[in-house]
Chain A
Amino acid sequence: MTKSLRVKTSKFIDETYKISFKFNRKTYYGYKGDTLASALLANNIHLVGRSFKYHRPRGIMTAGSEEPNAIVQLHDNTSRTEPNVRATEIEIYEGLEASSQNCWPNVNFDIGGINNFLSPILPAGFYYKTFMWPASFWEKYEYFIRKSAGLGKSPTKPDPDIYEHKYIHCDVLVIGAGISGIMAAKTAAKNGFKTLLVDEKPYLGGSTIYQNSEHFKINNQISSSWLDKEINEIKKFENLEIKIRTSVAAFHGYNFLLARESLTDHLPVNQRANKIRHRLLKIRSKKVINATGSLERPLIFNNNDRPGILLSSAIDKYANFYGVACGEKNVLFTNNDSAYETAINLNQKGINIEAVIDNREEVDSKLVKETENNKIRVYKGYTVVDTSGYKKINNVSIMQLSKDGEKAIGSKISINCDCLGISGGWTPAVHLFTQSGGKLKFREEDKVFIPNKYSSDQISIGSCNGEFTLDEILSSAPKILKEFLNIKKTDYENLEVNSSFNKSKRNIWLLPSDKVLGKTKSFVDYQNDATAKDIKLALREGFRSIEHVKRYTTTGMGTDQGKLGNMHALGIVSETAGSKMGELGTTTFRPPYTPLTFGTIVGRNVGEYFDVFRKTPIHDWHVKNKAEFENVGQWKRAWYYPKNGEGMHDAVQRESKAARDSAGILDASTLGKIDIQGTDASEFLNRVYTNAWSKLSIGKCRYGLMLNEDGMVYDDGVTTRLEENHYIMTTTTGGAATVLSKLEDYLQTEWPELDVYLTSVTDHYATVSVCGPNSKKIISQVIPDLNLSDESFPHMSFKNAKIGNIKCKVMRISFTGEHSYEINVQASFGKAVWEKCMEVGKKFNITPYGTETMHLLRAEKGFIIVGQDTDATMTPIDLQMDWIVSKKKYDFIGKRSLYRSDTIREDRKQLVGLLTENPNEILEEGAQIVADINKSPVEMLGHVTSSYYSPNLKKSIALGVVKGGKNMMGQKLIIPMENKQINVTVADPVFLDKENKRLNA
């Protein structure tokens, strides 16, 4: 097992820099430049993981981000652990620890492997069919399914790494730094465009950079040498930014793209502290050049998934780039010329090739000839019908193909091997192009989808555009670039290109076997274990749309989104159903192209920045005085102030009692405040509130209810007339922003003729509310110059005043039913004024109270809270607030809706008070209300919206909405709870001080 398969030095691998790493707890060595995959292969390890459904042994299949099988868990049981990482993309570093996934107890012996033998009873849709019935069993099934399924483990500890987001604006973005991308970037940069070139790999040059074959030459230089010089040149441009290890995840409309730049994943863990790990680039580019290349297709035959079976191009890259032989006895199986490039390259490096199996019968190309000249046996017109070897391939069986390609004929030939390279031709990587809204067309000759219609200013060049040979790429690139960038000339006119590649290809989506289909396992989606048999079953069961087949068989639904096998799935569907591939269309490729970590997505928005909150100017005082906080909209509001180990109930009882017995103080700064000015301000208020405003005199306040056009209560608050054409409106805390935008909407679009200006001043003021029978005494000392007599300063009025030099606006308004004052000062003085009130109020036992006590006090008075006692289905009439709806006004927002046939129904849910039979029983908010518990089905009449124990009334009180509740006064209803029924009586929602005597106490 430890034999080295490192065959030849490569300039991309630094053999003087040895790196040790662990795979499944065992230590191995590799070199700088290796990926985990290449290092494992060099150590002759193919078996990396187990497949998702059948737990079949799986190995490394590719050498890139399209890898479906070799996905591993990194640094298990540490805070940096990460599941589902592709071994083909991990650059090894000292101390790297990786382990296999989806196997227990280990990758060599895995209990789930039994599924492989059970596979006849695990067909497509098995989970859907079996675990559906009975529905009540689902919870039990789910436990076992989740235990035996799942790829990898999520981290359980906080992520120690730093992530960030960055905006980039450029003229031209080039995606992919292969030969096409390099030419595009150089051309753009040379013509003065601000250019960004990105590539997911840690090096530039794509697959050309390691091609040393004499068969591919540009201007008489070997293609990689030619490209090397180009790369050196592009590095000199100041207007060209190059980002490697940067994978474009999403291509949205208007050339808005997201890319992940990976900055520390290739470094030893102990060198990552305080460095940014991933950067999410938000790129806006005027023009985009897709040079995303192409992906080699596998071939679909029986047992095509064993460890040791790789894409032919991957074997080529492991040999050329990493200097690693994937096997000592290699067999290649192909339907096109690509595998011969591999054969010739391997042969040059002294890696043994047992045979090349080509499903084409007549092939005549330079590459084939040279392969044969090298004494490599080529089987023409043959197909692989089976493979063997449990943990690694050890044999392939081949048979001749019938003329029509539908049968395997003749006698079986068996070839021993330890590695099989497969090549089914190439699929343009059009994922990003389609994400952007581009439309594809199907090219029948070689069965590929290529870009057809672009949705934005972008173009595709190179193999992602269906140009697979060097001469095609080099002859079309200059033309495409000149037209796209609107320039006269490129550096690539009239290049002399030698390419020996012959384009002939014999496409058979599902290769025949000597066995019947039912007895084969020909994998189409390796990661999700979907086979050709499953796809045919789905079609037999009536699925026709490719999107439905995908979901039923789970083809293409893994973390790799089926980059390898989607075309074959499509091909099999089209052949079986007799539909044309071009008409079937492809399934939708969705972002991200390769998976993103959550850290990348959230960037800096973690911890205290995850959801930033707003603090009032008095916030620090609340913190210092041990307040518990509640989130209201974006605000942190003091909820209650526990004293001496009090719980919430005790604290609220104490606060509520103090506010009614002597004095309470509340930070009301969060209420929305909108400054309204203009000669039509009064008319504007008339139109937006249900009640009349024209006659409100200067210096007076009025409560207003605001509806939506559908007649439902939207917001409420007190508005004060400061001057003839100047009002200040308050809104609910949560409604401030939406009320302002709603008012702006009407003002700008429906009533532009009104002379009214709205300004949000919520943050400008701090609001201190002092209430209770002693509030007048306290305010008289806080603001000695203010005349507080009822004649001079009655309830619902306003005065400008001064506390020392601090200007303030004082309103005598009340949300508790107590005599009370609201002092509004410039925000920066808020805390000082609050502390002054506390100091003066000390002898009156002034008690700070939070939102919970505020809610209790207003409930005693039957005042509603919009959003708690109302939802978007309550009209003012439903709230028994008919008194606030003007009968005289011709129109206001929502008026017409108040007498729609639906809103005048008598049996609408209406707000009522509820009193429990047992005065100590407190109802649960949200509890259902019924009249008859024995009727089946039980009719739900409504629910409890607010419920408290009132220390002032010494009984429990509640508000609720009940169908037809208005006419049910005194009626007994039932609140059914889990273990009991609570008897309640419908009551007037005003529980305390119906005569409003306390307001002037």
Chain B
Amino acid sequence: MFLINCPYCGEREQSEFKAGGEAHIVRPKQPTELSDDQWAEYLFMRKNIKGIQFERWVHTHGCRKWFNVVRDTSNDIIKAVYKMGEKPPPNK
């Protein structure tokens, strides 16, 4: 059970949040122009990194805001937290 520093509310228990998978996967602007393979790439393919991972979290039982988290999946240490639309910290 880690602690997450919600950029809107501050530090809260993990149980208040929900993970939303890999971050920075942008929904294609023109899906209808994509091939099956290109669409499948967006739809299904996700990395599963051991180490530094950029991921989305939402403060479900709090402000309901989505934001991004940089987490080391091998030890759950959170390196950075930043709002949606903000530039990810280096290391990407």
**Interface membership of A202, Cβ < 8 A:** no
Name the contact of B2 in the complex, choosing from A253, A741, A750, A901 (C-beta under 8 A). A253
Interfacial residues of chain A within 766-783, with CB under 8 A of chain B in the complex = none
Contact between B65 and A748 (Cβ–Cβ < 8 Å)?
A: yes
**Interface membership of A900, Cβ < 8 A:** yes
**Interface membership of A895, Cβ < 8 A:** yes
Instruction: Specify which chain A residues have a CB less than 8 angstroms from the CB of B39 in the assembled complex.
Output: 896-897, 900
Name the contact of B20 in the complex, choosing from A256, A745, A752, A895 (C-beta under 8 A). A745
**Interface membership of A675, Cβ < 8 A:** no
A-B interface contact total, Cβ < 8 Å: 53
Question: In the complex where A252-B1, A253-B2, A710-B43 touch, is A896 in contact with B75 (Cβ < 8 A)?
Answer: no
5 contacts between A and B (CB under 8 A): A253-B75, A256-B2, A709-B27, A745-B58, A752-B85
Contact between A254 and B1 (Cβ–Cβ < 8 Å)?
A: yes
Contact between A748 and B84 (Cβ–Cβ < 8 Å)?
A: yes
Min CB gap A173→B, angstroms? 15
Interface string of A700-736 (1 = CB under 8 A from B): 0000000001100000000000000000000000000
- List 18 extra interface pairs beyond A741-B60, A895-B31, CB under 8 A: A253-B75, A254-B2, A254-B3, A256-B2, A709-B27, A709-B43, A710-B43, A741-B58, A741-B64, A745-B20, A745-B58, A748-B66, A749-B84, A750-B26, A752-B85, A891-B30, A897-B39, A900-B40
**Interface membership of B16, Cβ < 8 A:** no
A736 to B76, CA, bound (A): 31
A934 to B84, CA, bound (A): 59
Contact between B65 and A891 (Cβ–Cβ < 8 Å)?
A: no
Chain B residue at smallest Cβ distance from A255: B3
Contact between B64 and A744 (Cβ–Cβ < 8 Å)?
A: yes
**A-B pairs with lowest CB-CB distance, top 10:** A896-B31, A254-B2, A748-B66, A256-B1, A750-B27, A253-B76, A896-B39, A749-B66, A254-B3, A749-B84
Chain B residue at smallest Cβ distance from A892: B31
Min CB gap A647→B, angstroms? 42
Residues of A within 8 A of B (CB): 252-254, 256, 284, 437, 455, 709-710, 741, 744-745, 748-750, 752, 890-891, 895-897, 900-901
**Interface membership of B32, Cβ < 8 A:** yes
Instruction: Specify which chain A residues have a CB less than 8 angstroms from the CB of B49 in the assembled complex.
Output: none
A457 to B75, CA, bound (A): 13
Name the contact of B75 in the complex, choosing from A256, A455, A710, A890 (C-beta under 8 A). A455
Name the contact of B66 in the complex, choosing from A252, A253, A710, A744 (C-beta under 8 A). A744
Name the contact of B1 in the complex, choosing from A253, A745, A749 (C-beta under 8 A). A253
Instruction: Specify which chain A residues have a CB less than 8 angstroms from the CB of B20 in the assembled complex.
Output: 745
Min CB gap A268→B, angstroms? 37
Chain B residue at smallest Cβ distance from A257: B1
Question: By the criterion of a CB under 8 Å from any partner CB, how many residues of chain B are at the interface?
Answer: 25
Instruction: Specify which chain B residues have a CB less than 8 angstroms from the CB of A253 in the assembled complex.
Output: 1-2, 75-76
Q: Which of A437, A710, A748 has the most CB of B within 10 A?
A: A748
Name the contact of A890 in the complex, choosing from B2, B32, B60 (C-beta under 8 A). B32
Name the contact of A900 in the complex, choosing from B27, B36, B56, B76 (C-beta under 8 A). B36
**Interface membership of B34, Cβ < 8 A:** yes
Min CB gap B18→A, angstroms? 8
Interfacial residues of chain B within 1-41, with CB under 8 A of chain A in the complex = 1-3, 18, 20, 26-27, 30-32, 34, 36, 39-40
Contact between A752 and B32 (Cβ–Cβ < 8 Å)?
A: no
A253 to B27, CA, bound (A): 34
Instruction: Specify which chain B residues have a CB less than 8 angstroms from the CB of A256 in the assembled complex.
Output: 1-2
Min CB gap A883→B, angstroms? 20
Min CB gap B81→A, angstroms? 14
Interfacial residues of chain B within 65-88, with CB under 8 A of chain A in the complex = 65-66, 75-76, 84-85
Instruction: Specify which chain A residues have a CB less than 8 angstroms from the CB of B66 in the assembled complex.
Output: 744-745, 748-749
A916 to B32, CA, bound (A): 42
A252 to B85, CA, bound (A): 32
Chain B residue at smallest Cβ distance from A254: B2
Question: In the complex where A741-B58, A745-B20 touch, is A896 in contact with B34 (Cβ < 8 A)?
Answer: yes
Instruction: Specify which chain B residues have a CB less than 8 angstroms from the CB of A900 in the assembled complex.
Output: 36, 39-40
Min CB gap A924→B, angstroms? 35
Chain A residue at smallest Cβ distance from B23: A749
Contact between A897 and B76 (Cβ–Cβ < 8 Å)?
A: no
A314 to B76, CA, bound (A): 40
Min CB gap A759→B, angstroms? 10
Contact between B76 and A254 (Cβ–Cβ < 8 Å)?
A: yes
A386 to B64, CA, bound (A): 68
A752 to B65, CA, bound (A): 12
A891 to B85, CA, bound (A): 22
A886 to B20, CA, bound (A): 29
Chain A residue at smallest Cβ distance from B78: A254
A284 to B11, CA, bound (A): 13
Min CB gap A890→B, angstroms? 7
A750 to B31, CA, bound (A): 13
Q: Which of B1, B56, B60 has the most CB of A within 10 A?
A: B1
A454 to B13, CA, bound (A): 21
A76 to B81, CA, bound (A): 54
Min CB gap B9→A, angstroms? 15
Instruction: Specify which chain B residues have a CB less than 8 angstroms from the CB of A891 in the assembled complex.
Output: 30-32
Min CB gap A891→B, angstroms? 6
Instruction: Specify which chain B residues have a CB less than 8 angstroms from the CB of A252 in the assembled complex.
Output: 1
A744 to B58, CA, bound (A): 10
Chain B residue at smallest Cβ distance from A737: B60
A750 to B20, CA, bound (A): 13
A455 to B2, CA, bound (A): 12
A741 to B57, CA, bound (A): 12
Instruction: Specify which chain A residues have a CB less than 8 angstroms from the CB of B26 in the assembled complex.
Output: 750
Min CB gap B25→A, angstroms? 10
Min CB gap B26→A, angstroms? 8
A254 to B76, CA, bound (A): 9
Contact between A749 and B56 (Cβ–Cβ < 8 Å)?
A: yes
A155 to B64, CA, bound (A): 43
Instruction: Specify which chain B residues have a CB less than 8 angstroms from the CB of A745 in the assembled complex.
Output: 20, 58, 66
Contact between B43 and A897 (Cβ–Cβ < 8 Å)?
A: yes
